[in-house]
Amino acid sequence: MIRSEVLKSLIPVISDQFVVCNIGLPSQELHMLDDQPTNFYMLGTMGLSSSIGLGLALAQKQKIIAIDGDGSVLTNLGTLPTIANNVADNYILLIIDNGSYGSTGDQPTYAGKKTSLAKVAEACGCDNVIECKAEDTAQVMKDALASDRMTVIVCKCRSGNIPVPNITMDQVVIRDRFMKTLAAANG
């Protein structure tokens, strides 16, 4: 499975969840597959999906799923100790690890070579790290949502991209509808 297939398999599980999605193709794919006001698309700022997600989880009660990539986590590796040391049990970080910088042409990342992001996350102090095969991701996500425990999921998948349109929605609209939906959920 490639990333877009993983995202497609996740839609029934995450469609009604609050999701922060990584810059580039992951956001474009999620937007094309299942645009929801509960999705926050990052149109820029490589590396900060996990940080935005953690800030969201710490600030309120709804569950927050941050979808990130191996390249983006490597860019912001300092995020993992911050996550480990500020436990939010309403937070799930899903790292879709295809071993490549997908949005820029599938150049290889070190996560596809010797570096294990699951082991890095564990070494940083994350208590609940699950590495899974691409085809198991939806079930692992379902279990993580049911567990009420902060979870880091590292989904190992193949690299590869499908053609997807750019997101043309205004960024302030993306932010505003996300915030309003979240505020309504929190009552």
Partner 1 sequence: MSINKQIVTDMVNNGISFITTVPCKQLGGVIEEAENHPEIMHVPCNKEDEGMGLCAGAFMGGKRSAIIMQNTALGVTANALATLIQFYHIPLPMLISYRGELGEPVACQVEMALHTKALLAQMLIPTYHFHKREDAKELDKILKYTFMCNKPVAILTDATFWKGE
**Smallest distance from the beta carbon of 29 to partner 1, in angstroms?**
20
> Regarding beta strands 91-97 and 107-108, do their DSSP bridges make them parallel or antiparallel, or are they unpaired?
unpaired
Q: Nearer Cβ to partner 1, position 83 or 132?
A: 83
Sign of CA dihedral 145, 147, 148, 153: negative
Instruction: Confirm or reject binding of residue 104 to partner 1 (CB under 8 A).
Output: no
**Pick from 6, 54, 94, 129: which binds partner 1 (CB under 8 A)?**
54
Count of residues in contact with partner 1, rule CB under 8 A: 35
**Pick from 12, 15, 35, 58: which binds partner 1 (CB under 8 A)?**
58
Helix residue spans in the chain (DSSP H): 3-14, 25-34, 49-59, 70-75, 79-85, 117-123, 137-147, 171-185
Instruction: Confirm or reject binding of residue 117 to partner 1 (CB under 8 A).
Output: no
**Pick from 9, 17, 76, 116: which binds partner 1 (CB under 8 A)?**
76
State the Cα–Cα distance between residues 2 and 28, nearest whole angstrom: 15
- Which stretch of DSSP H or E encloses residue 95? strand 91-97
Q: Nearer Cβ to partner 1, position 162 or 183?
A: 183
Of 31, 11, 36, give the one whose Cα is nearest residue 182.
36
In the complex, the residues that contact partner 1 under the rule CB under 8 A are 20, 40, 42-45, 47-60, 76, 78-79, 81-82, 86, 171-172, 174-175, 178-179, 182-183, 186
